Structure 1
Amino acid sequence: MKILLIGATGMIGSRIAAEARRRGHEVTGVTRSGAEGTARAEASDAAAVAALAAGHDAAVLSVPPPRDGSETTGPLLAITRGVLDGLREAGVRRLIVVGGAGSLEVAPGVRLVDTPEFPEIYKNEALAAAEQLGVIRAEAGDLDWTFISPAAVIQPGERTGVFRLGGDQLLTDGEGNSTISAEDYAVALVDELEKGNAVQRRITVAY
């Protein structure tokens, strides 16, 4: 499979690239800077995305909301819409989005980001990612998208290949913890690329 990976050098994106290549897939990495042998492009530029996406089987968007400044939602949604439009222009239907955990429900109608315990420092990012999911659900009905939310805590760790998948609810273990390694998140994402079990819906992955 030929995969266009937008945000290929980040903590999660780099592990997605490694996992996909490990399985024999061809990965075209894209970053704003063109660093580490990636193609250079602004993901909000639909024409640039289309040019890079041409001839690929699928795309992965692994770009978090910006952390440098108060405005997070606008830039993230501009990137999201640029990617959606670029893939349409290129004729690439399959898209997987690396999402956030904040929009997962901890109770009916109660999102993780809305709980008193949610760290204030991450709230703007979480709300932006939640809005991103809303845009995809509303505007990407013509594409075969999947939005994959991680557990509440995702960080570098071990690749075990053992985890649980869920839907719109936050997954926790017996002690109430919600964690996943970036390596196992990448395993779940590439599994979904290969199998297509969750087209046009959001899923989550956690231990």
Structure 2
Amino acid sequence: MGNVVVFGAGGTAGSRITAEAVARGHRVTAAVRRPEATGYLPAGVDLVTGDVTSAHSVRELAPAADVMVVAVGGDEGRALWRDAAENLVTVLRDVPNPPRIIHVGGGATLLTPRGTPYLEEPDFPEEYREPALGQADALAWYRSAADGVTWTYVSPPPLEFHPGERTGHYRTGLDEPVTDERGRAALSYEDLAVAVVDEIENPRFENMRFTAGY
């Protein structure tokens, strides 16, 4: 089994990815800014202080990692996600046998049927615009400047993405949402975690973005 570092392991997505990885026998290091404020994590997780935007943190954790998962969030503005991507790529280029990066990004960067990102829709909620733009910046950085490392960017559906049931089933796509027979794009956080750990175990989207849905 692999050694997985999860930045943002205390969050909604990160905690579920951590739990899924542990359940499958991976050795998981949960890297969070404030370990004392982190809620439940499964037994066996190594909880450490870590910041994906800190070169020191990434450099310290990288040698023992096979994969570094970015599942961070917050109200720090647009720069957080681009800073995370840029720091990881910059540091890992200089690490022997660098770990892969799996960045859990935003669904608003997916494309509408017209070929434009959902975040550019006139009715896109203003309160989500800055995080969406930050995740778009991160995706653009990986695509344009991530030579020397292996990365995967994972987008959930743009709208119907909530905590729910782990079914273990999903379908994948690339830059457009995965929809069902009714045109609905939906996924639970639990099944996003399944998709992320499946990609850890069986890489199919190296140096690409993929999305998942029912």
TM over 0.5: yes
**Number of the residue aligned with 1:194:** 201
Distance in 2 between the 1:73 and 1:51 partners? 26
Residue 39 of structure 1: which of 48, 70, 78 is its match? Answer: 48
Runs of 4+ with >4 A deviation: none
Q: Is the 8 A contact 1:54 1:90 kept in 2?
A: yes
**Number of the residue aligned with 2:15:** 14
**Number of the residue aligned with 1:119:** 125
Q: Is the 8 A contact 2:80 2:134 kept in 1?
A: no
Task: Provide the secondary structure at the position in 2 that maps to 1:172.
Answer: coil
- % identity of equivalent residues: 35
When the two structures are superposed, what TM-score results if normalisation uses the length of structure 2?
A: 0.89
Number of aligned pairs? 203
Distance in 2 between the 1:155 and 1:28 partners? 25
Q: Is the 8 A contact 1:101 1:149 kept in 2?
A: yes
When the two structures are superposed, what TM-score results if normalisation uses the length of structure 1?
A: 0.91
Shift of 1:108: 4.2
**Number of the residue aligned with 1:62:** 71
Q: Is the 8 A contact 1:50 1:89 kept in 2?
A: no
Shift of 1:23: 0.5
Distance in 2 between the 1:105 and 1:76 partners? 19
Structure 2, gaps ≥5 residues long:
39-45
Shift of 1:165: 0.3
Shift of 1:117: 3.2
Distance in 1 between the 2:129 and 2:182 partners? 24
**Number of the residue aligned with 1:82:** 87
Distance in 2 between the 1:181 and 1:79 partners? 24
C-alpha distance after superposition, 1:94-116 (max 9, x if no partner)? 11000101110112431111122
Residue 178 of structure 1: which of 176, 182, 185 is its match? Answer: 185
